[in-house]
Amino acid sequence: MKHRSMIASGFTDMWEVAPQVIGLRTLFVNLAYVGLPSKEWILVDTGLGQFADSILHTAQERFGKPPLSIVLTHGHFDHVGTLKKLIAEWDVPVYAHPLELPYLTGKEDYPPADPSVGGGLMATVSPLYPHRGIDFGPAVIPLPADGSIPGMEGWSYIHTPGHSPGHISLFRAADKVMIAGDAFITVKQESVFAVLTQQQAVHGPPAYFTTDWDEAEQSVRQLALLDPKVVLTGHGAPMSGAELSKQLAHLCKNFKEVAVPTQGKYV
């Protein structure tokens, strides 16, 4: 299922997540290549900067042509790191939820990260992570209000705010495949040890950037009700089957105890 390759800027992992869904990890954040019945394909998120060449190489190797579009689960720095270069290379539309557009057009900044949430070194150094809005220009287009994704046959999006105002997750109902973004993840992202070792466990959204915990909890519950069978999250390795269902149910039942920090300015 997994192929690891060494490139100049660090390790990448690649997974055949489900039919027509390929996951690629850029250092510590994932993106997805989604093939479509029309023989087109769509890129979901764009990972960290310095990985554009790896993303382009994989796209050419797997599909031999640019994507139909790019869809963003949200606009945090680690999900849009190569977006400018990919737009310049491919000249394709970029879809995001309307509530996320102010951060993708440079009109608003995200709230700064909160290191006081604790949990490990990734949280401690989080004030160093970029949080300024970036103007990606006219390529950025709002998603339709009905949950559809233009050209992405068989898929829909679910508005899953909490980690960011316009965060979305993607779902293919036919086989219950989910691309969850950071609504929930499969690694404790606050801990550098967990990130380096990729210790797998269903976890709440990265705490240092999550600003509305009530919405975050409702988003996790909404996704759990869809009963996903396979999930690729924004951080951590893909999960599937009974273990995914068990851990996601545990997160829902105990969200306040296991996901919400005991302290922090957004708590």
120 or 150: which carries more pLDDT confidence? Answer: 150
Contact call for residues 218 and 162 (beta carbons, < 8 A): yes
User: What average pLDDT does range 69-81 have in this prediction?
Assistant: 98
Distance in angstroms (rounded) separating the CA atoms of residues 238 and 198: 11
User: What average pLDDT does range 160-182 have in this prediction?
Assistant: 98
Helix axes of 52-62 and 83-90: crossing angle, nearest 10 degrees: 40
Distance in angstroms (rounded) separating the CA atoms of residues 161 and 112: 17
Place of tokens 């060449």: 53
Domains of the chain: 2-258 (3.60.15.10)
For every residue of the chain, DSSP letters joined together read -EEEEEETTEEEEEEEEETTEEEEEETTEEEEEEE-TTS-EEEE---STT-HHHHHHHHHHHTSS--SEEE-S---TTTSTTHHHHHHHH---EEE-GGGHHHHBTS-PPPPP-GGG-SSHHHHTGGGS-----B-GGGEEEPPTTSB-TT-TTEEEEE--SSSTT-EEEEETTTTEEEEETSSBSS-TT-HHHHHHT----B-S-GGG---HHHHHHHHHHHHHT--SEEEESSS--EEHHHHHHHHHHHHHTHHHHTS-SS-TT-
**For the chain, what is the mean pLDDT?**
92
Q: What is the pLDDT of residue 126?
A: 86
Contact call for residues 113 and 208 (beta carbons, < 8 A): yes
User: What average pLDDT does range 80-107 have in this prediction?
Assistant: 98
User: What average pLDDT does range 214-240 have in this prediction?
Assistant: 97
Q: How confident is the model at residue 138 (pLDDT cuts 50, 70, 90)?
A: very high
User: What average pLDDT does range 228-256 have in this prediction?
Assistant: 97
Per mean pLDDT, which range of 44-48, 106-110, 195-199, 261-265 is the poorest? 195-199
pLDDT tops 60 at residue 245: yes
Q: What is the pLDDT of residue 5?
A: 40
Q: What is the pLDDT of residue 4?
A: 42
- Output the CA torsion sign for 42, 30, 87, 165: positive
